[in-house]
A and B are shown apart, each in its own frame.
Chain A
Amino acid sequence: AQTVTQSQPEMSVQEAETVTLSCTYDTSESDYYLFWYKQPPSRQMILVIRQEAYKQQNATENRFSVNFQKAAKSFSLKISDSQLGDAAMYFCAYRSTTGTYKYIFGTGTRLKVLA
């Protein structure tokens, strides 16, 4: 069975600085999808960035980028030029390309942005 681990329960970053959130996963599959979701306090969960495992190029979305290390089964999220609005719980998620539509979520990392 696949597992997703986020080893940092909480992180802090100064406004305008860069922060990296860690995510590791365990799977025997060769093809899968990985996601980072953001959930601000009392607000909706939204997609931040996604990565297909067959793509070697790391995904980027404006200030958000990932470092995808397939062999190491690592999928970290880098947030550049952090803003107060980035404060949220961040969840890493895994989804197989086969079988059921089940997503596996990590336990989350709470990011605080300091002014």
Chain B
Amino acid sequence: DTEVTQTPKHLVMGMTNKKSLKCEQHMGHRAMYWYKQKAKKPPELMFVYSYEKLSINESVPSRFSPECPNSSLLNLHLHALQPEDSALYLCASSQGASGGGWKETQYFGPGTRLLVL
């Protein structure tokens, strides 16, 4: 099973709202990622969690707040977003261990399409 699930699939929010995106995997992966993807562009890395600890924060504005409550779950809390934050938000996971190419493969979820009004 190489499935990463994300909820919700679509989200519309106002600039004063607070919402959360959820990502889940049951592959035993210990690295989880949040990406932002604009149309016809590559994914832009936002955060990486390794063994439930934040290991990379790509200078993302504080209106995005990640959380990794356990090894299977990754959340992205959203607050006071701007219209330019409208995008597809992708979650991914990988084994998180070195020693073999396949273990470094990222598996992506279907994404949450976010529209900020």
Contact = CB atoms under 8 A, between A and B. Distances in A.
- Pairing of A with B: yes
Interface of A: 33, 35, 37, 43-47, 50-52, 55, 89, 91, 95, 97-98, 100-103, 105-108, 110
B41 A101 contact: no
B105 A35 contact: yes
A108 B102 contact: no
Contacts of A55: 101
Contacts of A51: 101
Interface stretch (B12-20, B48-56, B59-67, B74-82): B48-56
B40 A33 contact: no
B34 interface: no
Interface in B18-53: 31, 33, 40-43, 45, 48, 50
A68 B108 CA distance: 24
Given A97-B98, A101-B48, A103-B45, A43 B110 contact: yes
Contact of B41 (A47, A95, A108): A108
B89 to A, nearest CB: 12
A101 B50 contact: yes
B48 A108 contact: no
B90 interface: yes
11 contacts: A35-B105, A37-B108, A43-B110, A44-B111, A46-B108, A89-B40, A100-B48, A100-B56, A106-B42, A107-B42, A108-B42
